[in-house]
Structure 1
């Protein structure tokens, strides 16, 4: 039987153990977590192949067309750490997965409609090389997107 490494927490709660995975492995795992949570919420979903343009997960609600989900993951950190996407990415939902750290003890997943992400995103000036980038400070994500925490039913607001 396999045992968890010393100091590791198998259910995703805070840990002080060194990270034992690459950034790519972390991203793939977070994409699979989002697909699994959507499926368990009654919206069948699957991770698309690596390097698929514009999104990472495709979900099929029973009452709507297929929904494209872009998954972004970061370990929680205060200060100048960002999570973002490019304006030209084609997706309907942005899933932000925040992984535990010393100060952020539990994993959190925010599944946000694109129009809300666009409304709240920081942007660089239109004349800059990074004008197509949209981003959020990692330590502001829990407050910015509190409404969208664990939104695995892909619920739209009543705007």
Structure 2
């Protein structure tokens, strides 16, 4: 098996004086007809957690205050993972087609995080009967409620 993979960032996250996704000029044409989508999925690279040591971290000790004593990385949305590929659903405030800037209210990525891909969020991606473990059943059940949830009470990191 060939382990080599090639990823090419299409832009970066801007998280200074507000939030935005800034596409590289070469990818601006890819925004054609994206207008009308209220939400997008952004795949980004957790570049601040991309070290050999962090890529070896497969379990975490009590990362959630109401969670189990040990949690595997695949049971988390942590940036520290074997391949720090992360995904965030974002609200779209405005898309500037000329500059390739997608203005958004928030994204959980650091400034200058490389953006790998953008996909429209469709109704068909909703999971009607989603189940989660008991330790996280009290978390918000939809994207809109996450901003007002007290996440600081949930995390031990």
TM surpasses 0.5 = no
* TM-score (structure 2 length as normaliser): 0.31
What is the TM-score normalised by the length of structure 1?
0.31
Larger Rg: 2
